[in-house]
Structure 1
C-alpha cells in the first residue's frame, strides 16, 4: 500500500478576510496518494470561523479545532484505504459520483476522479437515508390508520398533514400511541427524533455528523448508543431510563438494517 498523506492548509489563493491586522483564509485539505493530488475545502469550515494566517503558522489551534482536524484526517485516510482495497482486487466502483450529482469530477485522470468519489461516498452522512426511511415507515402506518378513521382524517388538511410529520412533533407521537400502532412505531419515532438531535451534537464535536464509513466500521453505533443512554422523556413522570440496553441494541439494529439494505445506495442517490 502506497503512502497516504492528508494535511490541512490555508487556501491563500482565495481573497482573504481581515481580522484587525491578521488575514483570514479558509481551511482546506491536501490529499496525496500514489502521485494523485486532491485539494478540497475542509468540512470543518462549516461550523468554525476561518483561521488567521498567524495562528495557523504558529499552530495556535483551539483544542476543539485540533480534535476536529485530527478526526478529519483519519476519516479521509480510511476512505482512501477503501479505494485501495477495491483497486487491489480490481473492483473499483465507478458509480459513486452519483452521490453528489452537482459536483463535477473534471480531472483528465479518471483514476483520480474515482478516488475523489470514494472519499465523498465514504464520508457522506447517513442522516438523510436513515431519517427518510424512518419517516416513511411512520408516515405510511399513520396515514393508513387515519384513512380508516375518516373523522380524524378530516381534521388534517394537506398543509396540516405536512406539519404533522415533524421529528419532534408531540401530536404525531400521540397519534401513534392513540391508535395503538405499536411499540415498534413508538420506537421508530423516538429513534428518528434522537437521531436528528444527536447529529447536531456530533457535528459540533467532530465537524461531521455521522459519516457512512464510521457506521460501517462500527464506530458510529458506539457513539449513538452512548447518546441514547442520556435520553429522557416525559410521560406521566420523567422516565430517565427509557433506553434500556435491550432498546439501545434494538435501535442500533434498526439503523443497521437500513444501512445494510440492498437498496441503500439507491435511497442515497434519491434522497432529495
Structure 2
C-alpha cells in the first residue's frame, strides 16, 4: 500500500494583500492553507479576521467574539483535516470530485492541475451547509405544494396557471413561508392552513435552526454544521441533535404553541429527513451556489 501523503492545515496572515491600517498598525486577513500531495489550496478564513502580526502570533485579539473566533479557528483546522483525510482514501474521489466541480462558485479553482481542482471541489461540497436545502425541501416541495392544491380546489384557473403562481409569490413576499419565528401570526397562519405532516416539517426547520445556533456556540464558532458531519460523522452529530432538541426550552415551548406532540419519535423522524437531504445524490445539482 502506498504511503499516504502528509496533510498540513494551518492559518496564516495573507500579507500579499493590501493591509488595513488601524491605529497605525497594519492588519491582514487570516487565511487557511491546506497542503496535500504537493498541492496547496488557500482559502480565506470563515472568521473574516484581520489581524496584526502580533495579534495573530500571540492570539492577542480581544472583544466579545473572542470565544467564537477561537472556536472557529480550531474547528476550521479540524474539519479541513478530516475532509482531506477522506479525500486521500476515497477510491472514487475522481468521479465524486468532478461531479462537484464548480459547486460553490465563490471558491472555484481553475487550475491546470486537475487533482488540485478535484481536491478543492471536494472541500467545497463537504463544507456546504444543508440549512437552505432543508428549507427548500420543507417549503417548496411540501408546504407550497399544499397551498397550490388548496388554490386549485377554490379557483378555476383554466389556462391561467400563472395567476396561481402569482398568489404563491404574494404569500412568499408576505414572508408566510419564511422561517422568521418572531411573527407568531405567520406560524399560526401555517398551522391553520396546512396538514399536520407539513407542520411537523415546519417544526423541523425551527429545531434545526436552534440546533445550529447551539452548535456554533459550543463547537463550530462561526461555522454552520457542514454536510460532512451529517454524512461521515452522522452518529455523533445525530446524538448531539437528539440530546439538544429533547431538552431545549425554546423547542418545547414552540411545540406547545403549534400543538405538535413533541417526543423522541418526532426527533427521529426529523433526523431521517435531514439524513435523506444530506445523502441526496442530486444535492450538488439542487443546491449549487
Global fold match (TM > 0.5): yes
In structure 1, the residue matched to 2:227 is 212
Establish whether residue 111 from structure 1 lines up as the match of residue 115 from structure 2: yes
Deviations 1:162-195 (A, max 9, x none): 222222354454344334x432111111112333
**Are the aligned partners of 2:102 and 2:108 in contact in 1 as well (CA < 8 Å)?**
no
Q: What TM-score results when the alignment is normalised by the length of structure 1?
A: 0.82
CA distance 1:262–1:35, change in 2 (3 Å): closer
Partner of 2:204: 191
- Choose 222-231 or 197-206, whichever is displaced more: 197-206
Which structure 1 segments of 5+ residues have no match?
A: none
Displacement of 1:240: 11
Q: 1:3 to 1:103 in 2, by over 3 A?
A: closer
The reply on whether 1:13 has 2:27 as its aligned counterpart is no
Q: Relative to structure 2, which stretch is displaced further, 205-214 or 237-246?
A: 237-246
Alignment coverage as a number of residue pairs: 263
Q: CA deviation at 1:241?
A: 9.8
Q: Which residue of 1 aligns with 2:158?
A: none
> Any residues of structure 2 matched to 1:104-253 within 5 Å, and which?
104-136=108-140, 137-150=142-155, 157=167, 160-162=170-172, 163=174, 164-168=176-180, 170-179=184-193, 181-200=194-213, 202-203=215-216, 205-216=220-231, 217-218=233-234, 219-229=236-246, 230=248, 231-233=251-253, 243-253=262-272
| Partners of 1:73 and 1:240 in 2: CA distance | 42
| CA RMSD across the alignment | 3.1
Cα distance change on mapping 1:125 and 1:88 into 2, 3 Å: closer
**Contact 1:142–1:176 at 8 Å: present in 2 too?**
no
Question: 1:63–1:161: structure 2 CA closer, same or farther, 3 Å change rule?
Answer: closer
SS in 1 for 2:98: coil
Stretches of structure 2 that go unaligned for 5 or more consecutive residues are 156-162
Q: 1:28-67 alignment to 2 at 5 Å? A: 28-45=31-48, 49-60=49-60, 62-67=66-71
Query: How far apart, in 2, do the equivalents of 1:172 and 1:143 lie?
Result: 18
TM-score by length of 2: 0.78
Conserved 8 A contact 2:200-2:260: no
